Amino acid sequence: MQSGHLFSSLSVLCWALCAGPAHAQSVRSEPAPAVSPSAPAASLAEHKKPVESTVQLQLLEGVRLFRAERYEDALRVFQQVNTDEKSTDIGFYLGMVLHKLGRHSAALIAFRSTQRSGLREPVADYYAAVSCYRLGMNTRARRGFASLAAAASGPAPGVPPLGPRLQQGARNFLSALPPSAVETASDGGSSSIHLQYERARQAAERLLASDDAEGALEWLDEAGQILEESPDPRERAEHSDELRALLNRLRSKPGSHVRTADVQALEQRLAH
């Protein structure tokens, strides 16, 4: 009797242990549900499941290719997912691959869409900061790495913590970045902020002229963040007007894919 009880206990333990991963992977192994005509709402929800599982499979395939450093192939897979099914966090995957392919401007655009979708991923923030660094958007890069390094001690609730490897990487990049415009200004180089701002503004204008509105927005963001560091309120106000004019141009660009929310966020920042 006692032995039988022990055996059944062990069986329950086995079942419990096996059930965990099986349930976790159910999204990939679920068969197509039968559609019942009597419950259309429920069937619609049920019908979505195989689509979701297909997307999950495709994403996993893309991740596998990414891990194998086959970035072009991974990009094709993620782009396919983006075309077929608008996955909300596809920007996260696309951004990583585009970054690895050295297409930093496109990577930043993809990461921006990730943020828009509400996904908080410190790894994506790290990659975005590196992309900014590679493009020469030093203010954004510095702020990105500094915020990651600060968050490492106490990440926000619900946000996965940044691993020790990337924490070290953030510190490496921070030490490699040139001193900020404010630091240079305090050393007597008052024109540093102006020069950096002008460079970012000109880059934005150039991209705007070549119909790359999204790329222009990235540089306008950099210009805005440089202005935030300016200690001179007169200069800040003057250049903010310039940036607002450029944002208006960007918004009125025909066929522009720039989201109004992104432009508004930048305008709000300039208003402060």
Partner 1 sequence: MSYVWQTRLGLTFALLALGLRGSAAADEPSGPLAAMREAAEALAELDPATPAVGDALRLHKSTPKAAHGEGGSAAASADALRAALRAAAREEVARDLAATNPPGRGAGIAAARGKEGSSAGTDKEAREQARGAAVQAQSAKAVGVHRNVELQRGLGNGNSNGNGRSALNAGTGPSK
Q: How far apart are CA 11 and CA 18, in angstroms?
A: 11
Given 109, 149, 173, 226, the residue binding partner 1 (CB under 8 A): 173
Tokens found for residue 168: 């070290």
Which residues touch 94 (CB under 8 Å, ≥6 apart)?
75, 78, 79, 82, 107, 110
Rg of the chain over CA atoms, in angstroms? 24
Phi and psi based region of residue 69 (left: phi greater than 0; alpha: psi -120 to 50; beta: remaining): left
Given 26, 36, 117, 168, the residue binding partner 1 (CB under 8 A): 168
Given 40, 50, 160, 231, the residue binding partner 1 (CB under 8 A): 160
Q: Residue 136, interface with partner 1 (CB under 8 A)?
A: yes
Which DSSP helix (H) or strand (E) runs through 177?
none
| Binding region for partner 1 (CB under 8 A) out of 33-41, 85-93, 244-252, 258-266 | 85-93
Q: How far apart are CA 60 and CA 77, in angstroms?
A: 10
Q: Please identify, using beta-carbon distances, which residue of 43 and 85 lies nearer to partner 1.
A: 85
Cα distances (Å, whole numbers) of residue 247 to 85, 236, 263: 31, 16, 7
Q: Residue 50, interface with partner 1 (CB under 8 A)?
A: no
Q: How far apart are CA 89 and CA 111, in angstroms?
A: 9
Smallest gap from residue 9 Cβ to partner 1 (A): 8
Smallest gap from residue 220 Cβ to partner 1 (A): 13
| Binding region for partner 1 (CB under 8 A) out of 43-51, 90-98, 149-157, 228-236 | 90-98
Q: Residue 231, interface with partner 1 (CB under 8 A)?
A: no
State the residue for tokens 């192939």.
Answer: 73
List residues near partner 1 by CB under 8 A: 2-4, 6-7, 9-11, 13-14, 17-18, 20-21, 24-25, 27, 56, 59-60, 62-63, 66-67, 69, 71, 89, 92-93, 96, 99-105, 121, 123-124, 126-127, 130, 133-136, 138, 160, 163, 165-166, 168-169, 172-173, 176-178, 195-196, 199, 202-203, 206-207, 210, 212, 215, 219
